[in-house]
């Protein structure tokens, strides 16, 4: 089985960040940290004009938090440290002066929906169903919530947060504004993303940075807010409800 990784490469002024973990592209703390570093590196890279964020594989874009790490959390401090990883990634994405094009080839769960929402322009395949599963685990989409709500609105985000067991289709996500375009397969999606990124790479870097800054206005408080949200998740993850749910889930899979 291939080892987990985050790769950052440059192709014709396009920075491509790809991540992978063996467990359905889940997000352990090491991958969260590497994603933050990759986004920061791309932000500072003068040879990079636009970024594509994607994951490896076909069926799952990202399954969210790593259950192996969640079950190992024993203190509120450890909980805060783990969930702050999601906060760091989202804050790195919103502060990045370059447009981030998200490619969602398959299911996005929990933190995966957060990643898709924090991108500036997200495309997907018809297989990219979405779900915020946190409530079913005994926590909530606290850290990713602001990014999701900003992208699809309070009503749709609340719907996802409350119904934590059922997926919404890629068409639903497009109707709500999460996805811009939906494609038949991963190849068509990535071809479009590259063509779109190539076009953007010829535009004014200063203008693109100012546009992004303008459309992300009123989120400057997220540095503090997302850490506060991480603390809530870090406390709730210690509950017997969460421990029992994860143990039962792992026993079935």
- pLDDT reported for residue 251: 79
What the chain holds in terms of domains, given with CATH numbers, is 5-187 (3.90.226.10)
pLDDT tens profile 89-118? 999 999 999 999 999 999 999 999 999 999
Residue 18 sits at the vertex; the CA angle it makes with 203 and 179, to the nearest 5 degrees, is: 65
The answer, yes or no, to whether residue 1 has pLDDT greater than 80, is no
Exposed, middle or buried, 162 (CB in 10 Å: 0-12/13-18/19+)?
Answer: exposed
- pLDDT reported for residue 168: 98
pLDDT tens profile 168-211? 999 999 999 999 999 999 999 999 999 999 999 999 999 999 99
pLDDT tens profile 34-78? 999 999 999 999 999 999 999 999 999 999 999 999 999 999 999
Tokens describing residue 87: 């906060």
């Amino acid at each position: 089985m291939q080892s987990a990784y985050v790769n950052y490469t440059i192709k014709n002024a396009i920075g491509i960040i790809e991540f992978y973990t063996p467990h359905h592209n889940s997000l352990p703390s090491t991958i969260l940290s590497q994603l933050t570093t990759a986004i920061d590196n791309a932000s500072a890279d003068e040879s990079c004009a636009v970024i594509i964020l994607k994951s490896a594989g076909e069926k799952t874009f990202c399954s969210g938090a790593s259950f192996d790490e969640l079950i190992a959390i024993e203190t509120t401090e450890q909980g805060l440290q783990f969930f702050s990883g999601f906060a760091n990634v989202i804050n790195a994405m919103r502060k990045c002066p370059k447009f981030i094009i998200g490619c969602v080839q398959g299911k996005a769960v929990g933190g995966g929906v957060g990643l898709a929402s924090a991108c500036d322009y997200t495309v997907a395949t018809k297989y990219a169903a979405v779900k915020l599963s946190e409530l079913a685990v005994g926590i909530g989409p606290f850290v990713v919530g602001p990014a999701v709500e900003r992208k699809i609105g309070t009503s749709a985000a609340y719907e996802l947060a409350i119904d934590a067991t059922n997926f919404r289709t890629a068409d639903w996500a497009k109707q709500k504004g999460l996805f811009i375009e939906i494609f038949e397969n991963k190849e068509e999606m990535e071809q479009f993303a590259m063509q779109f990124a190539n076009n953007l790479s010829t535009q004014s870097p200063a203008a693109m940075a100012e546009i992004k800054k303008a459309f992300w206005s009123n989120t400057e408080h997220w540095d503090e807010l997302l850490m506060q949200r991480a603390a809530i998740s870090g406390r709730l993850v210690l509950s017997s409800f969460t421990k029992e749910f994860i143990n039962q889930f792992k026993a079935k899979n």
